[in-house]
Amino acid sequence: TLMWKTEDNLISPATLNSIIEDEIIVLFDCRFDLRNKELGHQQYSQGHISNARYISLDDDLADKPGKRGRHPLPQRETFAAVLRKHGVNSDSYIVAYDDSNSIFACRLWWMVRWAGHERVAVLNGGLGAWTQANFELTTSSSEPIFGNFELRKPLTRQVEVQDVQSHTGTLIDARSVDRFHGQNENMDHTAGHIPGALCCPFSENLDKNGLIESNGKNFKNISKDDDVISYCGSGVTATHNILALILAGYDEPALYAGSWSEWIEDPSRPVATR
Protein backbone atom coordinates (compact mmCIF):
# COMPACT_ATOMS: atom_id res chain seq x y z
CA THR A 1 0.00 0.00 0.00
CA LEU A 2 1.26 3.45 -0.89
CA MET A 3 2.19 5.91 1.81
CA TRP A 4 1.89 9.10 -0.20
CA LYS A 5 -1.28 10.99 -0.97
CA THR A 6 -1.75 12.60 -4.35
CA GLU A 7 -3.37 15.61 -2.70
CA ASP A 8 0.24 16.59 -2.15
CA ASN A 9 0.69 16.90 -5.94
CA LEU A 10 4.45 16.67 -5.39
CA ILE A 11 6.58 13.64 -4.58
CA SER A 12 10.17 13.58 -3.35
CA PRO A 13 12.92 11.45 -4.91
CA ALA A 14 13.18 9.38 -1.70
CA THR A 15 9.46 8.60 -1.67
CA LEU A 16 9.44 7.76 -5.37
CA ASN A 17 12.46 5.49 -4.93
CA SER A 18 10.68 3.59 -2.16
CA ILE A 19 7.64 2.76 -4.33
CA ILE A 20 9.17 2.63 -7.79
CA GLU A 21 8.72 -1.12 -8.24
CA ASP A 22 5.02 -0.99 -7.36
CA GLU A 23 2.98 -1.84 -10.46
CA ILE A 24 0.38 0.78 -9.60
CA ILE A 25 2.95 3.51 -10.35
CA VAL A 26 3.17 4.81 -13.93
CA LEU A 27 6.19 7.06 -14.31
CA PHE A 28 6.53 9.49 -17.22
CA ASP A 29 9.74 11.10 -18.47
CA CYS A 30 8.56 14.41 -19.96
CA ARG A 31 11.91 15.84 -21.05
CA PHE A 32 11.57 18.14 -24.05
CA ASP A 33 13.39 20.94 -25.82
CA LEU A 34 11.27 23.50 -27.67
CA ARG A 35 14.05 24.11 -30.20
CA ASN A 36 15.14 20.50 -30.70
CA LYS A 37 12.06 18.29 -30.68
CA GLU A 38 13.99 15.00 -30.69
CA LEU A 39 16.37 15.84 -27.83
CA GLY A 40 14.09 14.69 -25.01
CA HIS A 41 13.70 11.21 -26.43
CA GLN A 42 17.45 10.99 -27.11
CA GLN A 43 18.15 11.92 -23.48
CA TYR A 44 15.60 9.35 -22.33
CA SER A 45 17.41 6.67 -24.36
CA GLN A 46 20.72 7.65 -22.74
CA GLY A 47 19.33 7.16 -19.23
CA HIS A 48 16.06 7.53 -17.33
CA ILE A 49 14.47 6.55 -14.04
CA SER A 50 13.58 2.86 -13.85
CA ASN A 51 10.20 1.94 -15.41
CA ALA A 52 9.68 5.43 -16.84
CA ARG A 53 7.90 5.79 -20.19
CA TYR A 54 8.78 8.68 -22.48
CA ILE A 55 6.03 11.15 -23.35
CA SER A 56 6.49 14.07 -25.76
CA LEU A 57 5.01 17.55 -25.44
CA ASP A 58 4.54 17.89 -29.20
CA ASP A 59 3.38 14.36 -30.01
CA ASP A 60 1.41 13.37 -26.90
CA LEU A 61 0.50 16.47 -24.88
CA ALA A 62 -0.53 18.84 -27.69
CA ASP A 63 -2.44 19.04 -30.92
CA LYS A 64 -0.79 20.45 -34.06
CA PRO A 65 0.21 24.14 -33.86
CA GLY A 66 -1.96 26.69 -35.64
CA LYS A 67 -4.61 29.32 -34.96
CA ARG A 68 -5.14 27.85 -31.47
CA GLY A 69 -1.51 28.47 -30.54
CA ARG A 70 1.76 26.55 -30.47
CA HIS A 71 0.64 23.73 -28.15
CA PRO A 72 -3.17 23.55 -28.22
CA LEU A 73 -4.74 20.85 -26.10
CA PRO A 74 -5.63 17.66 -27.97
CA GLN A 75 -9.11 16.16 -27.71
CA ARG A 76 -9.57 14.58 -24.27
CA GLU A 77 -10.29 11.19 -25.87
CA THR A 78 -7.08 11.41 -27.91
CA PHE A 79 -5.13 12.04 -24.71
CA ALA A 80 -6.94 9.20 -22.90
CA ALA A 81 -5.77 6.87 -25.68
CA VAL A 82 -2.18 8.07 -25.15
CA LEU A 83 -2.45 7.25 -21.44
CA ARG A 84 -3.87 3.77 -22.17
CA LYS A 85 -1.10 3.11 -24.69
CA HIS A 86 1.42 3.84 -21.94
CA GLY A 87 -0.24 1.41 -19.55
CA VAL A 88 -2.30 3.78 -17.43
CA ASN A 89 -5.20 2.11 -15.61
CA SER A 90 -8.09 3.73 -13.79
CA ASP A 91 -6.33 3.10 -10.45
CA SER A 92 -2.78 4.04 -11.52
CA TYR A 93 -0.65 6.53 -9.62
CA ILE A 94 1.06 8.74 -12.19
CA VAL A 95 4.36 10.51 -11.51
CA ALA A 96 5.85 13.00 -13.98
CA TYR A 97 9.37 14.41 -14.20
CA ASP A 98 11.60 16.39 -16.56
CA ASP A 99 14.85 18.37 -16.38
CA SER A 100 13.35 21.80 -17.16
CA ASN A 101 12.21 22.97 -13.72
CA SER A 102 9.17 20.67 -14.05
CA ILE A 103 7.38 22.75 -16.70
CA PHE A 104 6.64 19.78 -18.99
CA ALA A 105 5.86 17.54 -16.00
CA CYS A 106 3.35 20.17 -14.85
CA ARG A 107 1.68 20.17 -18.28
CA LEU A 108 1.22 16.40 -17.96
CA TRP A 109 0.07 16.77 -14.32
CA TRP A 110 -2.57 19.30 -15.42
CA MET A 111 -3.71 17.19 -18.40
CA VAL A 112 -4.07 14.03 -16.32
CA ARG A 113 -6.33 15.96 -13.94
CA TRP A 114 -8.12 17.42 -16.99
CA ALA A 115 -8.80 13.81 -18.00
CA GLY A 116 -10.47 13.36 -14.60
CA HIS A 117 -7.69 11.44 -12.82
CA GLU A 118 -6.52 12.79 -9.47
CA ARG A 119 -3.73 10.33 -8.70
CA VAL A 120 -0.89 12.32 -10.22
CA ALA A 121 2.17 14.04 -8.81
CA VAL A 122 5.25 15.88 -10.06
CA LEU A 123 8.70 14.68 -8.96
CA ASN A 124 9.88 17.75 -7.07
CA GLY A 125 13.24 18.92 -8.38
CA GLY A 126 12.94 16.64 -11.39
CA LEU A 127 15.69 14.42 -12.70
CA GLY A 128 18.35 16.66 -11.15
CA ALA A 129 17.03 16.05 -7.63
CA TRP A 130 16.82 12.32 -8.36
CA THR A 131 20.45 12.02 -9.48
CA GLN A 132 21.63 14.36 -6.72
CA ALA A 133 20.08 11.95 -4.23
CA ASN A 134 22.29 9.27 -5.84
CA PHE A 135 19.39 7.23 -7.17
CA GLU A 136 20.22 5.36 -10.33
CA LEU A 137 19.18 5.64 -13.96
CA THR A 138 18.68 2.87 -16.49
CA THR A 139 18.80 2.63 -20.27
CA SER A 140 16.42 -0.32 -20.48
CA SER A 141 12.76 0.12 -21.34
CA SER A 142 9.93 -2.31 -22.07
CA GLU A 143 6.68 -2.02 -24.00
CA PRO A 144 3.89 -1.43 -21.49
CA ILE A 145 0.70 -3.49 -21.55
CA PHE A 146 -2.28 -1.38 -22.64
CA GLY A 147 -4.14 0.17 -19.73
CA ASN A 148 -7.88 0.48 -19.11
CA PHE A 149 -7.94 4.21 -18.35
CA GLU A 150 -11.29 5.92 -18.98
CA LEU A 151 -12.07 9.63 -18.99
CA ARG A 152 -13.91 11.09 -16.03
CA LYS A 153 -15.19 14.57 -15.29
CA PRO A 154 -12.34 17.14 -15.45
CA LEU A 155 -10.81 18.16 -12.11
CA THR A 156 -9.39 21.28 -13.79
CA ARG A 157 -10.82 24.56 -15.04
CA GLN A 158 -10.24 25.74 -18.58
CA VAL A 159 -11.12 28.86 -20.55
CA GLU A 160 -11.05 29.84 -24.22
CA VAL A 161 -9.95 33.12 -25.78
CA GLN A 162 -13.43 34.67 -25.66
CA ASP A 163 -13.57 34.01 -21.89
CA VAL A 164 -10.26 35.83 -21.49
CA GLN A 165 -11.55 38.79 -23.49
CA SER A 166 -14.61 39.15 -21.24
CA HIS A 167 -12.89 38.16 -17.98
CA THR A 168 -13.19 40.40 -14.94
CA GLY A 169 -10.96 38.39 -12.60
CA THR A 170 -7.18 38.13 -12.40
CA LEU A 171 -5.10 37.14 -15.41
CA ILE A 172 -1.55 35.97 -14.67
CA ASP A 173 1.31 35.50 -17.16
CA ALA A 174 3.94 32.83 -16.38
CA ARG A 175 6.55 34.02 -18.89
CA SER A 176 9.73 35.91 -17.99
CA VAL A 177 9.62 39.60 -17.06
CA ASP A 178 11.32 40.64 -20.30
CA ARG A 179 8.93 38.74 -22.56
CA PHE A 180 6.00 40.12 -20.56
CA HIS A 181 7.27 43.63 -21.37
CA GLY A 182 7.76 42.78 -25.04
CA GLN A 183 11.55 42.45 -24.91
CA ASN A 184 13.73 39.55 -26.12
CA GLU A 185 10.73 37.75 -27.61
CA ASN A 186 12.24 34.60 -29.11
CA MET A 187 9.23 32.30 -29.47
CA ASP A 188 6.33 34.27 -30.92
CA HIS A 189 5.92 36.71 -33.83
CA THR A 190 4.37 39.45 -31.68
CA ALA A 191 5.80 40.66 -28.38
CA GLY A 192 4.00 41.86 -25.25
CA HIS A 193 1.21 40.56 -23.03
CA ILE A 194 -2.57 40.46 -22.71
CA PRO A 195 -3.70 43.86 -21.35
CA GLY A 196 -4.44 43.77 -17.63
CA ALA A 197 -2.37 40.66 -16.91
CA LEU A 198 -0.07 40.40 -13.89
CA CYS A 199 3.52 39.28 -14.43
CA CYS A 200 4.10 36.11 -12.33
CA PRO A 201 7.11 34.31 -13.88
CA PHE A 202 6.97 30.58 -13.12
CA SER A 203 10.67 30.71 -12.17
CA GLU A 204 9.62 32.55 -9.00
CA ASN A 205 7.94 29.33 -7.82
CA LEU A 206 11.35 27.65 -7.46
CA ASP A 207 13.80 27.75 -4.59
CA LYS A 208 17.55 27.90 -5.21
CA ASN A 209 17.68 24.11 -5.64
CA GLY A 210 14.93 24.09 -8.25
CA LEU A 211 12.26 22.73 -5.90
CA ILE A 212 8.71 24.03 -6.28
CA GLU A 213 7.80 26.04 -3.21
CA SER A 214 4.36 26.16 -1.62
CA ASN A 215 4.66 29.56 0.10
CA GLY A 216 2.95 31.41 -2.76
CA LYS A 217 5.48 34.27 -2.72
CA ASN A 218 4.97 34.66 -6.49
CA PHE A 219 1.31 35.53 -5.92
CA LYS A 220 1.36 38.06 -3.10
CA ASN A 221 -0.76 40.48 -5.16
CA ILE A 222 -3.47 37.88 -5.70
CA SER A 223 -6.22 37.40 -3.14
CA LYS A 224 -7.58 33.96 -2.28
CA ASP A 225 -10.99 35.20 -3.50
CA ASP A 226 -9.77 36.18 -6.97
CA ASP A 227 -10.95 34.25 -10.00
CA VAL A 228 -7.58 33.48 -11.59
CA ILE A 229 -6.80 32.61 -15.20
CA SER A 230 -3.27 31.36 -15.87
CA TYR A 231 -1.55 31.73 -19.25
CA CYS A 232 1.96 31.81 -20.73
CA GLY A 233 3.32 31.37 -24.26
CA SER A 234 1.54 28.14 -25.18
CA GLY A 235 -0.07 26.63 -22.09
CA VAL A 236 3.01 24.95 -20.58
CA THR A 237 4.56 27.14 -17.86
CA ALA A 238 1.02 28.36 -17.06
CA THR A 239 0.40 24.92 -15.52
CA HIS A 240 3.45 25.43 -13.25
CA ASN A 241 1.73 28.52 -11.82
CA ILE A 242 -1.50 26.53 -11.41
CA LEU A 243 0.32 23.87 -9.38
CA ALA A 244 2.11 26.51 -7.29
CA LEU A 245 -1.17 28.35 -6.61
CA ILE A 246 -2.86 25.12 -5.48
CA LEU A 247 0.12 24.28 -3.23
CA ALA A 248 -0.24 27.76 -1.70
CA GLY A 249 -3.89 27.11 -0.86
CA TYR A 250 -5.66 28.88 -3.71
CA ASP A 251 -8.73 27.45 -5.42
CA GLU A 252 -8.20 25.78 -8.80
CA PRO A 253 -7.22 28.51 -11.30
CA ALA A 254 -8.34 28.21 -14.92
CA LEU A 255 -5.87 27.45 -17.71
CA TYR A 256 -6.01 29.48 -20.90
CA ALA A 257 -4.21 26.83 -22.96
CA GLY A 258 -3.99 28.84 -26.19
CA SER A 259 -2.14 31.52 -24.25
CA TRP A 260 -0.11 34.30 -25.89
CA SER A 261 0.60 32.28 -29.05
CA GLU A 262 -3.15 32.00 -29.74
CA TRP A 263 -3.99 35.54 -28.60
CA ILE A 264 -1.70 37.10 -31.24
CA GLU A 265 -3.13 35.01 -34.11
CA ASP A 266 -5.90 37.62 -34.39
CA PRO A 267 -4.28 41.05 -35.02
CA SER A 268 -7.41 42.81 -33.74
CA ARG A 269 -6.73 41.62 -30.17
CA PRO A 270 -5.01 44.25 -28.03
CA VAL A 271 -1.37 43.95 -26.96
CA ALA A 272 0.31 45.66 -23.99
CA THR A 273 4.01 46.09 -23.20
CA ARG A 274 4.01 48.17 -20.00
Cite the active site residues: 232
- From residue 207, give the alpha-carbon distance in Å to each of 72, 75, 215, 216, 217: 29, 35, 10, 12, 11
DSSP string spanning the chain? Answer: -----GGG-EE-HHHHHHHTT-TTEEEEE----TT-TTHHHHHHHH-B-TT-EE--HHHHS----BTTBSS----HHHHHHHHHHTT--TTPEEEEE-SSTTHHHHHHHHHHHHTT---EEEETTHHHHHHHTT---B----PPPP--------SSEEE-HHHHHT--SEEEE-S-HHHHTT-S--SSSS-SB-TT-EE--GGGGB-TTSPBPSS-GGGTTS-TTS-EEEE-SSSSHHHHHHHHHHHTT---PEEESSHHHHHTTSTTS--B--
Cβ neighbours of residue 21 closer than 8 Å, sequence gap 6 or more: 50, 51
Cβ neighbours of residue 163 closer than 8 Å, sequence gap 6 or more: 229, 254, 256
Cβ neighbours of residue 220 closer than 8 Å, sequence gap 6 or more: none
